[in-house]
Amino acid sequence: EGGGAEVAELRTAFNVMLTHIESSLAARTAANERLRRFVADASHELRTPLTSIRGYADLFRYAAANEPEEREAHLAKIREETARMSVLVDDLLLLARLDAHDAEPPVRPERVDVVLIVSGAADAFRVGRPSHPLSVAPGSSAPVFVDADPVRLRQIFDNLLANAAVHTPSGTRVGLSVSVVDSRAVIRVEDAGPGIAPEDQLRIFDRFFRVDNSRTRSAGGTGLGLSVVHSLVVEHGGTVDVASRPGRTVFTVQLPQAG
Ligand code: ADP
């Protein structure tokens, strides 16, 4: 009866193989669905500023030639929407390149001092967002080296700082700190704003997710900022997470310290 055992073994092997095929098919279907969703969302997001640009172009055309101020206002809107669109396109391209694991990756790591990058982001924030006082801790400290692309690293902190300002009332203090814990550079961006509901905290790193569509859209958000932050941090071998309750939101980025 040796043949029976062989058949049973074959059947087991066959079933294992089937299970593998099924689960890889399911994974592929899920990946396809994510891609389909992404393309649909991206098209929708691109269409929004395009529609506005077209609308303002029509308004410009219909505004009487002797109303230069009105025309100037329409042109300013066209510029604003165009700027928004180029941020969106840049973010989309960056995400696509990070996904693709290209031969030419969008991230070129080198040994950089996080403290220096963070203070650059802080200076730009102070100039660009005078509405939000910024505290940096510690004021000055020893360099903390990581292997990172300096431009992308700066982009991470610019994004988190911009969110802290955009999603909190004017005058709300924003905090920024760098420390080292267990050979990891730990950068915190915190604000005293309304916070993010626990159920939304799981989704804010998703592409195109916004907590309150109309409000953040009018504030110029694309819903891609935090997904770009997440993808960039992961590309650098780090982690990013959020802890939030009303009155206190903290984004923590951790990056491996350069050896
Ligand atoms: P957006 O371009 O809309 O800001 P993000 O990906 O940067 O997109 O953020 C996703 C959502 O997370 C935002 O729409 C906002 O609702 C929420 N969010 C992000 N940062 C904060 C913050 N510091 N405080 C409150 N909500 C925030």
ipTM: 0.97
pTM of the full structure: 0.84
Measured from CB, residues less than 6 Å from any atom of ligand 1 are: 163-164, 166-167, 191, 193, 196, 204, 209-212, 216, 221-227, 249
The answer to whether 153 and 114 have CB atoms below 8 angstroms apart is: yes
Probe ligand 1: pick from 159, 216, 224, max atoms within 8 Å of CB?
216
Q: Are 206 and 167 in contact (CB under 8 A)?
A: no
* pLDDT at residue 212, rounded to an integer: 72
| C-alpha dihedral, 87 to 169 to 226 to 247, nearest 10° | 180
In testing the pocket of ligand 1, which one of 132, 158, 176, 196 has its CB within 8 Å of the most ligand atoms? 196
One digit per residue, the tens of pLDDT, for the chain of length 259 reads 567 888 999 999 999 999 999 999 998 988 888 888 888 989 988 998 999 999 999 999 998 888 889 999 999 999 999 999 999 999 999 998 888 877 788 899 999 999 999 999 999 999 999 999 999 987 667 999 999 999 999 999 999 999 999 999 999 999 999 999 999 999 999 999 999 999 999 999 999 888 875 455 555 678 899 999 999 999 999 999 999 999 999 999 999 999 8
What is the pLDDT, as a whole number, of residue 139? 65
The pLDDT value given to residue 138: 76
Residue 113: Cβ within 10 Å count: 18
